[in-house]
Each structure stands twice: as structure tokens, then as C-alpha cells.
């Protein structure tokens, strides 16, 4: 049995463990890690509320209330895998410089390990996918999001959290793409043409709610999780009643239970990495959004092969 790097908080107070993700070891030496957690406190490309720069530290802080075994998955995952907290990627007061650095730094971290990342706004995913592409070639992408994020420009700006998916698709680095939970208003019905022309599968929130969690997960497992895939979760896919702390809240979304249960039904065998973005702690109520994000990271880990 692996000497666990996770100190299950039975003998001491949870809040006295180190302020890392789930209280694991902080280290830049990650060659022996199965999974590396990375914070990317970049939010210069948000178009409404900012504050996602504070998410990595807040999610680390609240993650320490999680006790090590998901109630439904029932695995002592920290005895099976070694998770290390790499700390944060330093970013600049400059969008283009930052996203280039994020791409380079992520590429430098990639080894045999999987990565899980706390953003940051959704533009970071563009950099992460470019880094993953350099290592793995084309990959599948599962995007849980309220918004289509595939505008050519937002306010005449082409590189931001509303354009990242379009920029990524234009790079030609993705294979199958699913967007799940889409419901946010669009500027024109023409906004959907780009997605249609590029064969992006959209499971909007109505289809999700009408078809049931297990059926949706089955379709995605069959068509997307059968090959290397990256999972990006924009926390705004969750209803603001459950996750109020985000840049652009969209009513009518998933409940906490629905997104947790959806992840529990996903096949993570070909998971190479994932992120949770757009959590903005200054807008939170009693840390509920960050606590949900920490739980989603925990489910991802608990599902790893
Ligand atoms: Mn998004």
C-alpha cells in the first residue's frame, strides 16, 4: 500500500492541514505524481465580473473538508494515486503574454501524470489545450458550460473567455467536441453556425434535463470518452442558485447533485486532464461555489483508473 500523501483529518482539525488541494504535498518535483493539481489565477479576459484569480487559493482552502472517500464511488483514492499540488502558474498583467506562458508552463509539467487545474477564466483552457496537443496530438473535448464560448470576437476582442473555443477549433487541435448545459443568450441565431459547421455536438440544458443523466453520460462515454479527452467545467453550467460565484451567471442550469452525478457516470479511463474555471470567490455566499468545485475535483480523482 502506498503511504498516502493525504492526511485523513481524523486525528486533527481539518483546517490545520496544509493549505493545498485536499491537504496533499506541495511540490515542484512532480515526476512521481499520478496527478498534478495546478492553479492558474488568470482572469484578465472576463467580460463582466472578474475575480476568478482568487479561485485557486479559495478552492484549496475549502477542499480540506473532504474526507477522502466519495460516498457513492467508495474508493480510498489517495491510497491508490499520488496527487501533488504544484502551486500556481505566475501570470502577467497582459493577456497575450500570460496565455503564452500558461501554455509553456503546462507543457513543461506534462509527463506521465494527469493534470487537474483550477482557473482562472475560461481563456486558460485555450492555452492548456495547445500544450496538451503538442504532447498528445488531437484530443477530444468535453465542455460543460452555460455559454457557447465560440464567438469570433467579444467587444471587438478576439482572445477572451467568450472566444476561446473558436480559437481552439481554428487551431485544428480537437477531434470530437461536446458542449453540455448550454443555455445562455446569444447575440444572433447566426452565432450557432460556426459550431454547426465544425460538427460540435451541443447537449443544451433542455436536452440534458429531458433525457436524464445516465443517458447523456452514456452517449458521451461512447462518442467522446472512448479516446483521450480533456474535461473543462465552466462553473456557470451550474445554476446560480447553487453556484452564484461566477462571472456571468445564467439561470436555469444544473443542480449541484446533477453535475456531481453526471461526473460519477462518466468514464475517466482516457481522461488526460481537466479544469474548473470561472469560479469567482468574491461573489460567493458561504463559499458554496468553491466547495462545489472542490467536490467536482474530488469526483474526477475518485473516477480515475
Ligand atoms: Mn465558458
Secondary structure of residue 115 in the 3-state scheme: strand
Identify the CA nearest to 241 among candidates 250, 232, 233.
250
Answer whether residue 1 shows pLDDT above 50.
no
Q: Beta strand pairing status for 139-144 and 229-234?
A: parallel
Answer whether residue 5 shows pLDDT above 90.
no
234 Cα to the center of ligand 1, angstroms:
5
Sign of CA dihedral 261, 208, 178, 251: negative
Secondary structure of residue 190 in the 3-state scheme: helix
Answer whether residue 221 shows pLDDT above 60.
yes
| Residue ranges near ligand 1 (ion) with Cβ within 5 Å | 122, 145, 149, 234
pLDDT for the residue 6: 59
pLDDT grade, residue 9 (50/70/90)? low
pLDDT grade, residue 7 (50/70/90)? low
74 Cα to the center of ligand 1, angstroms:
31
Q: Write the CB contacts of 85 (distance below 8 Å, at least 6 apart in sequence).
A: 20, 21, 24, 25, 26, 27, 36, 37, 60
Distance CA 143, CA 155 (A): 23
Mean pLDDT of 48-66: 96
27 Cα to the center of ligand 1, angstroms:
29
pLDDT for the residue 2: 47
pLDDT for the residue 55: 98
Under CATH, to which class is 14-19+30-302 assigned?
alpha beta
Contact 188, 153 (CB under 8 A): no
117 Cα to the center of ligand 1, angstroms:
15
pLDDT for the residue 11: 63
Contact 281, 54 (CB under 8 A): yes
- Average pLDDT of the chain to the nearest whole number: 95
In this structure, what C-alpha cell is assigned to residue 256? 449541484
103 Cα to the center of ligand 1, angstroms:
18
Mean pLDDT of 75-91: 95
171 Cα to the center of ligand 1, angstroms:
18
50 Cα to the center of ligand 1, angstroms:
13
149 Cα to the center of ligand 1, angstroms:
6
Neighbours of 268 (CB within 10 A): 19
* 271 sits in which H/E element: strand 271-277
In this structure, what C-alpha cell is assigned to residue 302? 475518485
Distance CA 35, CA 38 (A): 10
| Long-range own/partner contacts, residues 214-219 (CB < 8 A, 24 or more apart) | 214/265, 216/180, 216/262, 217/262, 217/265, 217/266, 218/265
Largest CA distance in the chain: 58
Mean pLDDT of 247-265: 98
162 Cα to the center of ligand 1, angstroms:
7
Identify the CA nearest to 177 among candidates 140, 137, 138, 134.
140
pLDDT grade, residue 198 (50/70/90)? very high
161 Cα to the center of ligand 1, angstroms:
6
125 Cα to the center of ligand 1, angstroms:
9
135 Cα to the center of ligand 1, angstroms:
24
262 Cα to the center of ligand 1, angstroms:
18
Domain limits, the chain:
14-19+30-302
145 Cα to the center of ligand 1, angstroms:
5
In this structure, what C-alpha cell is assigned to residue 274? 481537466
25 Cα to the center of ligand 1, angstroms:
30
Secondary structure of residue 194 in the 3-state scheme: helix
87: left (phi over 0), alpha (psi -120 to 50) or beta: left
Amino acid at each position: 500500500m502506498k503511504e498516502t500523501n493525504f492526511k485523513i483529518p481524523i486525528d486533527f482539525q481539518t483546517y490545520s492541514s496544509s493549505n493545498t488541494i485536499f491537504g496533499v504535498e506541495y511540490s515542484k518535483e512532480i515526476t512521481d505524481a499520478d496527478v498534478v493539481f495546478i492553479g492558474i489565477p488568470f482572469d484578465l479576459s472576463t467580460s463582466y465580473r472578474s475575480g476568478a484569480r482568487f479561485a485557486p487559493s479559495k478552492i484549496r482552502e475549502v477542499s480540506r473538508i473532504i474526507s477522502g472517500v466519495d460516498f457513492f464511488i467508495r474508493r480510498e483514492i489517495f491510497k491508490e494515486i499520488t496527487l501533488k499540488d504544484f502551486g500556481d502558474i505566475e501570470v502577467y498583467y497582459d493577456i497575450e503574454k500570460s496565455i503564452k506562458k500558461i501554455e509553456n508552463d503546462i507543457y513543461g509539467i506534462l509527463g506521465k501524470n494527469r493534470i487537474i487545474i483550477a482557473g482562472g477564466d475560461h481563456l486558460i483552457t485555450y492555452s492548456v489545450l495547445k500544450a496538451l496537443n503538442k504532447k498528445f496530438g488531437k484530443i477530444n473535448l468535453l465542455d460543460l458550460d452555460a455559454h457557447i464560448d465560440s464567438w469570433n470576437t467579444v467587444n471587438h476582442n478576439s482572445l477572451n473567455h467568450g472566444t476561446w473555443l473558436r480559437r481552439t477549433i481554428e487551431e485544428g487541435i480537437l477531434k470530437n467536441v461536446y458542449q453540455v448545459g448550454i443555455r445562455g443568450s446569444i447575440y444572433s441565431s447566426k452565432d450557432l453556425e460556426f459550431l454547426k459547421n465544425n460538427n460540435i455536438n451541443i447537449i443544451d440544458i433542455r436536452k440534458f434535463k429531458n433525457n436524464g443523466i445516465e443517458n447523456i453520460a452514456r452517449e458521451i462515454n461512447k462518442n467522446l470518452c472512448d479516446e483521450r479527452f480533456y474535461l473543462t467545467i465552466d462553473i456557470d453550467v451550474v445554476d446560480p442558485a447553487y453556484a452564484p460565484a461566477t462571472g456571468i451567471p445564467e439561470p436555469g442550469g444544473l443542480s449541484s447533485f446533477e453535475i456531481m452525478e453526471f461526473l460519477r457516470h462518466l468514464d475517466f479511463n482516457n481522461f488526460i486532464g481537466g479544469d474548473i474555471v470561472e469560479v469567482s470567490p468574491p461573489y460567493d455566499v458561504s463559499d458554496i461555489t468553491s466547495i462545489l468545485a472542490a467536490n467536482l475535483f474530488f469526483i474526477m480523482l475518485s473516477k480515475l483508473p
